[in-house]
Amino acid sequence: MNSARLQHLIPGTLVLLLALTVVWLSFTREPAESFLFPRLISVVMLALAFWNFVRAATGLAKVGTGFTASLLVTIAPGVAVMIIFIFFLAKQFGFYVSSTIAFVAIYAIYDPAPHSDPKSWAKRVGVAIAFMVLMYGLFSILLKVQTPRGMFF
Protein backbone atom coordinates (compact mmCIF):
# COMPACT_ATOMS: atom_id res chain seq x y z
CA MET A 1 0.00 0.00 0.00
CA ASN A 2 1.45 3.37 -0.98
CA SER A 3 1.87 6.22 1.48
CA ALA A 4 -0.67 8.51 -0.27
CA ARG A 5 -3.41 5.92 0.15
CA LEU A 6 -2.35 5.25 3.74
CA GLN A 7 -2.54 8.98 4.48
CA HIS A 8 -6.21 8.87 3.50
CA LEU A 9 -6.95 5.52 5.12
CA ILE A 10 -5.67 6.32 8.62
CA PRO A 11 -7.87 9.42 9.18
CA GLY A 12 -10.80 7.69 7.47
CA THR A 13 -10.47 4.75 9.84
CA LEU A 14 -10.19 7.00 12.89
CA VAL A 15 -13.28 8.97 11.88
CA LEU A 16 -15.20 5.72 11.29
CA LEU A 17 -14.20 4.43 14.74
CA LEU A 18 -15.25 7.71 16.31
CA ALA A 19 -18.60 7.58 14.49
CA LEU A 20 -19.17 3.98 15.62
CA THR A 21 -18.41 4.99 19.20
CA VAL A 22 -20.80 7.94 19.10
CA VAL A 23 -23.59 5.77 17.61
CA TRP A 24 -23.02 3.09 20.23
CA LEU A 25 -23.06 5.65 23.05
CA SER A 26 -26.19 7.37 21.77
CA PHE A 27 -28.10 4.08 21.56
CA THR A 28 -26.98 2.71 24.93
CA ARG A 29 -27.62 5.73 27.18
CA GLU A 30 -30.75 6.41 29.18
CA PRO A 31 -33.24 8.08 29.22
CA ALA A 32 -33.82 7.23 25.58
CA GLU A 33 -35.91 10.35 24.91
CA SER A 34 -32.96 12.59 25.73
CA PHE A 35 -30.82 10.91 23.09
CA LEU A 36 -33.17 11.15 20.10
CA PHE A 37 -31.32 14.10 18.53
CA PRO A 38 -27.84 12.62 19.17
CA ARG A 39 -29.05 9.34 17.64
CA LEU A 40 -30.21 11.03 14.47
CA ILE A 41 -27.00 13.01 14.09
CA SER A 42 -24.77 10.05 14.97
CA VAL A 43 -26.40 7.78 12.37
CA VAL A 44 -25.87 10.42 9.67
CA MET A 45 -22.30 10.88 10.89
CA LEU A 46 -21.75 7.11 10.73
CA ALA A 47 -23.08 6.89 7.17
CA LEU A 48 -20.80 9.70 6.02
CA ALA A 49 -17.83 8.23 7.89
CA PHE A 50 -18.44 4.84 6.29
CA TRP A 51 -18.63 6.42 2.84
CA ASN A 52 -15.37 8.30 3.54
CA PHE A 53 -13.71 5.08 4.73
CA VAL A 54 -14.79 3.16 1.61
CA ARG A 55 -13.44 5.94 -0.62
CA ALA A 56 -10.12 5.87 1.25
CA ALA A 57 -9.88 2.05 1.23
CA THR A 58 -10.64 1.74 -2.47
CA GLY A 59 -8.33 4.57 -3.50
CA LEU A 60 -11.12 6.88 -4.69
CA ALA A 61 -10.07 9.61 -2.25
CA LYS A 62 -7.51 11.40 -4.39
CA VAL A 63 -8.13 14.98 -3.29
CA GLY A 64 -5.34 16.61 -1.32
CA THR A 65 -2.21 15.08 0.05
CA GLY A 66 -3.75 13.26 2.98
CA PHE A 67 -2.65 13.63 6.57
CA THR A 68 0.79 15.28 6.64
CA ALA A 69 3.08 16.30 9.49
CA SER A 70 2.48 20.01 8.81
CA LEU A 71 -1.27 19.43 9.00
CA LEU A 72 -0.80 17.65 12.33
CA VAL A 73 1.15 20.63 13.69
CA THR A 74 -1.61 22.95 12.47
CA ILE A 75 -4.53 21.06 14.01
CA ALA A 76 -2.85 19.85 17.23
CA PRO A 77 -3.70 22.97 19.31
CA GLY A 78 -7.37 22.78 18.30
CA VAL A 79 -7.49 19.08 19.08
CA ALA A 80 -5.91 19.76 22.48
CA VAL A 81 -8.57 22.38 23.26
CA MET A 82 -11.32 19.96 22.24
CA ILE A 83 -9.90 17.15 24.41
CA ILE A 84 -9.79 19.51 27.40
CA PHE A 85 -13.34 20.64 26.58
CA ILE A 86 -14.73 17.11 26.30
CA PHE A 87 -13.01 15.52 29.28
CA PHE A 88 -12.76 18.39 31.75
CA LEU A 89 -14.57 21.64 30.98
CA ALA A 90 -17.99 20.32 29.94
CA LYS A 91 -18.44 18.27 33.10
CA GLN A 92 -17.06 20.95 35.39
CA PHE A 93 -18.62 24.14 34.02
CA GLY A 94 -21.55 22.91 31.94
CA PHE A 95 -22.07 22.79 28.20
CA TYR A 96 -22.71 26.45 27.41
CA VAL A 97 -20.02 28.04 29.57
CA SER A 98 -17.37 25.50 28.58
CA SER A 99 -18.36 25.70 24.91
CA THR A 100 -17.92 29.47 25.02
CA ILE A 101 -14.47 29.06 26.57
CA ALA A 102 -13.46 26.43 23.99
CA PHE A 103 -14.85 28.53 21.12
CA VAL A 104 -12.88 31.61 22.21
CA ALA A 105 -9.73 29.51 22.70
CA ILE A 106 -9.93 27.90 19.25
CA TYR A 107 -10.84 31.21 17.64
CA ALA A 108 -7.83 32.86 19.33
CA ILE A 109 -5.49 30.07 18.22
CA TYR A 110 -6.48 30.22 14.54
CA ASP A 111 -7.41 33.91 14.19
CA PRO A 112 -4.61 35.79 12.41
CA ALA A 113 -5.52 39.07 14.15
CA PRO A 114 -2.95 40.20 16.73
CA HIS A 115 -3.44 38.92 20.27
CA SER A 116 -2.33 42.26 21.72
CA ASP A 117 -5.23 44.15 20.11
CA PRO A 118 -8.25 44.58 22.42
CA LYS A 119 -10.54 44.98 19.40
CA SER A 120 -9.65 41.50 18.14
CA TRP A 121 -10.45 40.05 21.58
CA ALA A 122 -13.76 41.91 21.65
CA LYS A 123 -14.57 40.45 18.23
CA ARG A 124 -13.61 36.93 19.35
CA VAL A 125 -15.72 37.12 22.49
CA GLY A 126 -18.63 38.77 20.67
CA VAL A 127 -18.71 36.12 17.95
CA ALA A 128 -18.46 33.35 20.57
CA ILE A 129 -21.34 34.78 22.60
CA ALA A 130 -23.51 35.23 19.49
CA PHE A 131 -22.75 31.66 18.43
CA MET A 132 -23.58 30.29 21.87
CA VAL A 133 -26.87 32.22 21.98
CA LEU A 134 -27.78 30.50 18.70
CA MET A 135 -26.71 27.13 20.13
CA TYR A 136 -28.76 27.71 23.25
CA GLY A 137 -31.79 28.62 21.15
CA LEU A 138 -31.31 25.54 18.96
CA PHE A 139 -30.59 22.96 21.65
CA SER A 140 -32.52 24.16 24.70
CA ILE A 141 -35.49 25.99 23.24
CA LEU A 142 -36.14 24.46 19.81
CA LEU A 143 -34.94 20.86 20.21
CA LYS A 144 -35.25 20.61 24.01
CA VAL A 145 -31.99 18.63 24.18
CA GLN A 146 -30.54 17.99 27.60
CA THR A 147 -26.95 19.29 27.69
CA PRO A 148 -24.31 18.58 30.36
CA ARG A 149 -24.88 20.67 33.46
CA GLY A 150 -22.06 22.14 35.48
CA MET A 151 -21.48 24.59 38.26
CA PHE A 152 -22.60 27.62 36.19
CA PHE A 153 -25.29 26.53 33.73
102-151 pLDDT, tens per residue?
999 999 999 999 999 999 999 999 999 999 999 999 888 887 777 777 77
Question: Average pLDDT, stretch 88-113?
Answer: 90
Mean pLDDT of the chain: 86
pLDDT top residue among 84 and 1: 84
Q: Please name the residues in contact with 10: beta carbons below 8 A apart, sequence gap of 6 or more.
A: 67
For residue 116, give every residue at least 6 positions away whose Cβ sits within 8 Å of its Cβ, in sequence order, or none: none
Instruction: Return all residues near 67 (Cβ < 8 A) that are at least 6 apart.
Output: 7, 8, 10, 11
This prediction's pTM = 0.66
Calculate the alpha carbon distances from 35 to 42, 60, 125 in Å: 10, 34, 30
Residue type, 118: P
